[in-house]
Structure 1
């Protein structure tokens, strides 16, 4: 695929980024696309590697190898190299419903499994993916394409995040009538309110939603199952129901001082900010402001990084992020070989912005929060931490050891907890009388996406636990296939 010597002749290029000092002044996307010629050269870097791992989508232990949606990466790379962009788009959308989302927010496990990455930089797969879909919209190649025939079967999808939208798109293409229920005031779920504008501007999400509407999908907002409409009513009104509500129940810290004011869950912080931004450009002040505050983010993942980028745009006084794990190595270790996703150190957009604005990377490693301390009004004013070491025994069990003498006190006016999510919210479980397994995910039947309730399916984070947008899309597509088989079998 590509040019035989392309990976030798051309260096890897990725989209340009706006200067950190400029972009923290607004909420626009921080990346800027490369030119058509540059993208075609990047496509030329795709090797004829005989057995490509980039599109395999294999789960190996806790590691992911290649793209979960099994994108036809070598094929559309080759088409881009040859300047056949419209054909590349046709290949791309065969496996991925929303490349405009994954091309912006996916961590690109495909690139970690690129053959060129064994001893060189990988092909810029994610950048090419985004370029293809963006060109498709710009050129007018992507237009509403409703199904010619309807089956007479109807499906209710609860949740409009990436899993719900992918599921709806697939079932609608099959000719079923699809209604998507969303409890928020806007469609998009995580894509709308969980990911900041800097990574995914909301007109991109709204453009896709308008396209899905034009193809016949109905969206119902401000509707919560079990409150505004009962689960039993959904099951009576539709031939099938698919739950794609995500894993919104946040993990908490049960330590001294947790009840103090000024301590919030990260997703509440991000959601309120985006809603206020969309509603009034923050003029309504209906959000948690970090302006002039000492901000501490607890949790070292992507959500924590998004909190940092948001707080910087609020013009916080200082910011620090705590992670319990040690700093990642600069290069792969023997325990993290190719083609696994590379667990290596990187400077995310938020950390680059913080480094420019404050003079240092805000991340603190191997640190454990012990307690929160408040002032006389019951508002958090500081937190106490200790450095830790994480060790494992012969059986794979991990243990945390506190390092004596490493205690430290940090000033804090605003604390954001970003340590992940533990599963579905109780209200949804109660509404459908569904049980969770020991990992607080909904019980399912093998890989059929079914539940103990006839005609009720689940997909996305609510099924597999907190994961990536690209995994949610895969889950939505596969759940749609299983739901289609179920409904069509009832016609016999």
Structure 2
């Protein structure tokens, strides 16, 4: 511990961000690069606790508490404080294959369980992590490191999101020949098309890592959907093992039976975000907007979470006339509630980047809480023109379950020409499972035990959202690493992978 009194002397200071009204004029990442001196001071706030909850990676009350990939956070905080940046990067890469991704998009459950956070604002762990890896790239410390020997074993990985890439990276380092199949036209899965450019730059951040992995010997195949273009059975015949990392891509449609659900102008969030990012990459950000866009429209985002926020931020950049975000749950409290104690993830009110931008433009947080969507309204041409909503409350019924109570006097109509559903995902698509007879669980996920990752078919493994359900990027990396370990054990009898 470099500075025992650091947490007493230095106040938390996060990385500066571009002004909201300026950054909505482009698709660039908006977090600024802080000076090394600031980061060293922030690193000194780490108390090097006897029991550092920041890297425990537990699940408490259904949410991550601490880092799911068990990053050695106190170690690299101390190394940054001492100015030993290259050593900090070595520690960071021991547990995290892609810190440039998590340092940008992870909600930082590590900070939610920081011991200092019990009495003071927590250490800026996420900012420090991102700065370590960004400096590593800038200094040339991150270089291709292909394995010295090959085992002769071949592994196919289906899906190139964070789970698939982490699994590929680990198996390649173990000496296996790895081929990653991706049905989209670019590698990255959720990282490429599910997260907007202003949160995670594609060519300079995502593609840079993909290029490095390719230089280390991993083969990437794009534009090929397994189960359609190539039968899954063919992969099982041609490879020694197969890892499924297809993600949970079936969107929830809780409003499927709502009146006028067929109106033109209603889309799932991921369709909207994917087409936007694809357009930006294809046109090199020439100032035009994609075919599916929010320009000049009243936009209503139904649902919250990161996906809802991304829809808000994207709509603002398109030039929407207005943006409203509807949440069916109540507004979180300003401080931890009594039933949400440390080290649980703090369920407190905050303005994420998209809501901050909407507030800067129109004066208010775009979110409306405790709202239920009753029906859609369309014009004579079938175009969406409005959404009927109602205020609700939640009460516990005689059976112990919470039930929704509508306030009939609050029914009203919001103008809307573009509605975006950000209501989560119900599991993986079933094409592969149906073809090879793969067993699924009650939620339609590929059935495989956590930490084992073996499916009902020998030699076929599952990891990430397709196994555990919709979750965080950092959990996907955890699962990809774990599946690689068990796949290596299956192929070789023993494994040295962590």
TM surpasses 0.5: yes
- Seen in structure 2, the aligned counterparts of structure 1 residues 2 and 365 have a Cα distance that, compared at 3 Å, is farther
Instruction: Quote the offset at 1:440 in angstroms.
Output: 2.3
Residue 238 of structure 1: aligned partner: 239
Deviation at 1:286, TM superposition (A): 4.4
Structure 1 stretch displaced more, 402-411 or 335-344: 402-411
Q: What does residue 350 of structure 2 align with?
A: 346
1:146-172 residue CA offsets vs partner (Å, 9 max, x unmatched): 000101101000000000000000000
- Aligned with 1:384 (options 383, 388, 408): 388
Whether the 8 Å contact between 2:153 and 2:177 is mirrored in structure 1 is: yes
Specify every segment of 5 or more residues in structure 2 that has no aligned partner in the other structure, as ranges: none
> Do the aligned residues in 1 keep the contact of 2:488 with 2:494 (CA within 8 Å)?
no
Q: Which residue of 2 aligns with 1:149?
A: 149
**Normalising by structure 2, what TM-score?**
0.96
| Contact preservation (8 Å) 1:2, 1:43 | no
Check whether the contact 2:61–2:344 (CA below 8 A) recurs between aligned residues. Answer: no
1:265 maps onto 2:284 in alignment: no
Contact 1:2–1:48 (Cα < 8 Å) also in 2? no
State the alpha-carbon separation in 2 of the partners of residues 317 and 103 from structure 1. Answer: 32
Once the two structures are superposed, the pairs formed by residues 336-415 of structure 1 within 5 Å of their partners are 336-392=340-396, 397-415=401-419
CA distance in 2, matches of 1:396, 1:342: 25
The alpha carbon displacement at 1:391 in A equals 2.9
> 1:482 maps to which residue?
486
**Is 1:184 the equivalent of 2:184?**
yes
Residue equivalent to 1:276: 279
Superposed CA offset, 1:362-411 (max 9, x none)? 00000000100110001111111111112345876221111231111111
- Aligned residues between the structures: 491
- Any residues of structure 2 matched to 1:289-304 within 5 Å, and which? 289-304=293-308
Once superposed, what is the RMSD of the aligned Cα atoms? Answer: 1.5
Report runs of 4+ in structure 1 exceeding 4 Å deviation.
282-286, 393-396
* Displacement of 1:285: 5.3
Moved more, 402-411 or 74-83: 402-411
Q: Look up the match of 1:331.
A: 335
CA contact (8 A) 2:232 2:432 kept: no
Structure-1 residue corresponding to 2:252: 251
Equivalent residue for 1:420, pick from 421, 424, 427: 424
TM-score w.r.t. length of structure 1: 0.98
Residues in 2 aligned to 1:446 and 1:44: alpha-carbon distance in whole angstroms = 36
Deviation of 1:324 (Å) = 0.4
Match of 1:170 in 2: 170
Separation in structure 1 between the aligned mates of residue 479 and residue 48 of structure 2, nearest angstrom: 30
Deviation at 1:49, TM superposition (A): 2.0
Shift of 1:358: 1.2
Q: Tell me, in whole angstroms, the C-alpha distance in 2 between the residues paired with 1:452 and 1:175.
A: 26
1:44-63 → structure 2 map (5 Å cutoff): 44-63=44-63
Q: Is 1:216 aligned to residue 217 of structure 2?
A: yes
Q: Tell me by how many angstroms 1:428 deviates.
A: 3.0
